[in-house]
Amino acid sequence: MQLLENRSAELRSRHGIAFHFTGIASRRLGWIANPEGLGEVEGALARELPKPDPKINDVRDWLSAARADVLFEATSLNLETGQPAVEHIRAALAHGAHAITANKGPIVHAYRALRDLAAQQGKRFLFESTVMDGVPIFSLFDQLPAVHLEGFHGILNSTTNVILSQMEQGLSFEEALNKAQQLGVAETDAAHDVDGWDAAVKTAALVTVLMDAPIRLDQIVREGIRDLTPSAARNAKRDGWPFKLVCRAYRTANGVEASVRPERVRSSEPMARISGTSSYIYFQTDIFPGLAITEENPGLHATAYGLLADFVRALT
Amino acid sequence: MQLLENRSAELRSRHGIAFHFTGIASRRLGWIANPEGLGEVEGALARELPKPDPKINDVRDWLSAARADVLFEATSLNLETGQPAVEHIRAALAHGAHAITANKGPIVHAYRALRDLAAQQGKRFLFESTVMDGVPIFSLFDQLPAVHLEGFHGILNSTTNVILSQMEQGLSFEEALNKAQQLGVAETDAAHDVDGWDAAVKTAALVTVLMDAPIRLDQIVREGIRDLTPSAARNAKRDGWPFKLVCRAYRTANGVEASVRPERVRSSEPMARISGTSSYIYFQTDIFPGLAITEENPGLHATAYGLLADFVRALT
C-alpha cells in the first residue's frame, strides 16, 4: 500500500484516480472499516487503528461496512483449495467491487467462475502480480487479440534460481537456501519453492488463463531441485550447460501438457543466462513464433507495482 | 487486409467486431468509395474494382464518401516531412474516424498534435506496427501506468542484422544485401536501412511516445554499417564480440540522448545472439530496472497483425 500512497499524486493527475482506504482486515487485526476513510494506511500500522467492528462477522459484512469499490486480496496461498481467497474474491465481485489479488490460488481453483462472475457484474478480476512480479504478462495477451498461444517455457521461480546460482559457485544446498532467505527472495515455506510448487502454480495459472485450458496441479509433471548435488550444478555450469528449474507447457491433440523440472540448458539458449532473481518467459504463438520477456533483477517494488497497475487497469 | 478478412469470424465472435471495407485509395487506383461496402478487398485486387469517383478530390471527400469509421494509413515514409501520412491521419481524426498507421513519419513529425486531436475527437491514433512488426511495444507501456522510462537499447532493423549475420559468414556487403533482398526483409530503398535511417526513425518514435520527449532525426547520432568490412565483421564474431547496429536512448539532465551505430556487443549480452530477422529491446525503468522483449524470427503476418491488433484496440 506504500507504493499506492507514494504515487497517489501521479494517479490523480495522470489517471484521474483519487482513493482512500476504507477497510483493513487480517487475522490479527480483525475486521476494520470506516467508509469515510482510515487515513494513511502505511502510517496506520505504526499508530493506533480504529477498533474492529464487532457487528462485522464476515467478508461480506466488511465489504459493505467499508463501502468498498476495490478489494486487494492478500491472503497466503492454499494449494489444495485456493481458500479463503476464492471466497473473498467472490464476495467482492458479488458486492460490486473490483477484485485484485497477488494470490495464485483463485486462478488455479476458480478462474472461469470468477472471470464469468466479474463479467456479469461489470467488474474486473485482476492478478497481474502473480507471475513475474507484476511485469505485464496477462495484460500483454489482452494486447494480443486473435493470437493463439501454442506453448511457453521459462524460469519463473526466483528462490530456486538463486539457489542454483549459489550452488554453481560452490555453496551447499543448505548454504544456498540460507543465502536466498537472506536476500529476501525465499518464501516463508522454502519447500514450496524448492519442490517446484511455486513454479507449478505459476505454470498452471498461465495455462489456465492464456491457453484457456484449466489444468490441475496434479496434471503438471513436477520435480524440484532437492536432489541436485552442488557438484552436479557446478559441473553443469562449468560445461556451459547449466541446470535451471524450467517450466514448460505446450498444446497437444488432447489438451495441454506441462512440466516443472530441473533441465540442463544449452549456453546458446537465453535461459542459460537468467541468474539470481531474474526471470524469463518465451511464448510460442501462431503470429509470433517466439516472443520472449526477460525481467532482470526486479526492484523492491516490482510485486507491489503489479497491484498498483491492476488498480489503474480496473478504474480506467 | 488479407489477415483481417481471414480472422473476420474470430473478430466477430470474440470481440463483437463486424466490418466491411468501404473505400480504397492509392496513386494507381484513385479514390474509390462505396459506403455499402466493396466486398472482399483481397479478392478485389484480382477482379474489377468500382471506378474511382470523379467527385472525390481529396482525402476528406473520400473519407466522407466512404463514411469511414477507421482509416488504415499505408503510404510510404517521408523522412523530411512525414507527409502525406500526417494530413491523412489529421483528416481521418477530424472526420471522426480512428486512424491506424504503419508509417513512422507521423509519429516523428506530428505525434503530440495527432495524439491531442485524437483525444479531443474521442478517437484513437494507433501505430503499433511501426516498431518490431506489431509486437505490442507501445501497448505494453499502456499497461505500465506510473512507470518512468529512463532509457532503452536494442536491435530494431532486420535488414542490417541479416546483412551483418551474412557478412560474418563470409559474404561481401553486396552479396549480403542481395541475400537480405531475396529474403524479402530489405526495404525498397536499401540505403534507408543500411545507413541507419530506419533504426533512427524507430528510435525517434520510441523516444517521442514512450519517453514523452519529441526528438528530431538530426538530434540522433547516426552511423550505418556501410563502412564495416566483411573481415571486421567476421573477426569480431570470431572473437565472440560481434558487431550489431544498436539503437540507444537515455534520459539526461537536458533531455534525451540517442544514437544508432554499429557497436561490438559482448557475447554475454543478449543482443549478441539476436541474428537474422529477430529483434530485441531492453527497457530501463524505475520499477523494472531491466525489462526486455525479444521477437524471434517473426512470421509473415507479424506486421499486418499489428494493424489488426490496433483495429481491435480502437474498437473495444
Q: Once rounded to an integer, what is the mean pLDDT over residues B90-113?
A: 97
How far is it, in rounded angstroms, from Cα A90 to Cα A128?
18
Greatest alpha-carbon pair distance for chain A in Å reads: 65
pLDDT value of residue B51? 84
Beta bridge partners of A284: A151
Cβ of A296 and B298 within 8 Å?
Answer: no
**pLDDT at residue B50 greater than cutoff 90:** no
How far is it, in rounded angstroms, from Cα A157 to Cα A191?
12
Residues of B within 8 A of A144 (CB-CB) are: 136, 309
pLDDT in tens, B123-155: 999 999 999 999 999 999 999 998 999 999 999
**pLDDT at residue B96 greater than cutoff 90:** yes
A265 CA: distance to closest CA in chain B (Å): 15
Q: What are phi and psi of A49, to 5 degrees?
A: -90, 160
Residues of A within 8 A of B301 (CB-CB) are: 287
Of B209, B190, B189, B192, the C-alpha closest to B108 is: B209
Confidence grade of residue A125 (pLDDT, cut at 50, 70, 90)? very high
Q: Which of residues 113-152 of A touch B (CB under 8 A)?
A: 134-136, 139-140, 142-147
Asked whether A289 and A274 are in contact (CB, 8 A), the reply is no
Q: Is any Cβ of chain A less than 8 angstroms from the Cβ of B263?
A: no
Residue percentage of chain A with pLDDT more than 90:
79
How far is it, in rounded angstroms, from Cα B160 to Cα B228?
11
Strands (E), chain B: 23-26, 30-33, 70-73, 98-101, 125-126, 149-155, 220-222, 243-252, 255-264, 279-285, 290-296
How far is it, in rounded angstroms, from Cα B242 to Cα B72?
39
> Least CB-CB distance to A288: which of B139, B292, B295?
B295
Buried b (16+ CB within 10 A) or exposed e, A40-79: bbeebeeeebeebbeebeebbebbebbebbbbbbebebee
pLDDT value of residue B41? 67
Confidence grade of residue A52 (pLDDT, cut at 50, 70, 90)? confident
pLDDT value of residue A38? 87
**pLDDT at residue A189 greater than cutoff 80:** no
Cβ of A291 and B291 within 8 Å?
Answer: no
**What separation in angstroms does the CA of A203 have from each of A131, A209, B229?**
9, 10, 47
> Least CB-CB distance to B268: which of A14, A135, A273?
A273
Q: What pTM did the predictor assign?
A: 0.94
pLDDT value of residue A299? 77
Asked whether B14 and A145 are in contact (CB, 8 A), the reply is yes
Confidence grade of residue A41 (pLDDT, cut at 50, 70, 90)? low
* Cα atoms found within 13 Å of the Cα of residue A195, Cβ hemisphere only: 6
The secondary structure of residue A21, as a DSSP letter, is -
**pLDDT at residue B54 greater than cutoff 90:** no
**pLDDT at residue A46 greater than cutoff 60:** no
Residue percentage of chain B with pLDDT more than 70:
97
**Mean pLDDT value across chain A:** 93
Q: Once rounded to an integer, what is the mean pLDDT over residues A82-105?
A: 97
Question: Could you report how far apart the first and last alpha carbons of chain A are, in Å?
Answer: 19
pLDDT value of residue A54? 87
**pLDDT at residue A143 greater than cutoff 80:** yes
As given in the structure block, the three cell numbers for residue A26 are 487480517
* Cα atoms found within 13 Å of the Cα of residue A123, Cβ hemisphere only: 22
Asked whether A9 and A17 are in contact (CB, 8 A), the reply is no
Residues of A within 8 A of B302 (CB-CB) are: 287-288
Burial of A268 (0-12, 13-18, 19+ CB in 10 A): exposed
**pLDDT at residue B45 greater than cutoff 70:** no
Q: Once rounded to an integer, what is the mean pLDDT over residues A202-211?
A: 98
Assess: ipTM above 0.85: yes
Cβ of A291 and B143 within 8 Å?
Answer: no
Amino acid (one-letter) located at A162: V
pLDDT in tens, B196-247: 999 999 999 999 999 999 999 999 999 999 999 999 999 999 999 999 999 9
Which range (A39-43, A139-143, A164-168, B109-113) has the least confidence?
A39-43
Q: pLDDT higher for B42 or A32? A: A32
As given in the structure block, the three cell numbers for residue B79 are 523522412
Most trustworthy range by pLDDT among A149-153, B11-15, B76-80, B181-185 = A149-153
Q: Is any Cβ of chain B less than 8 angstroms from the Cβ of A7?
A: yes
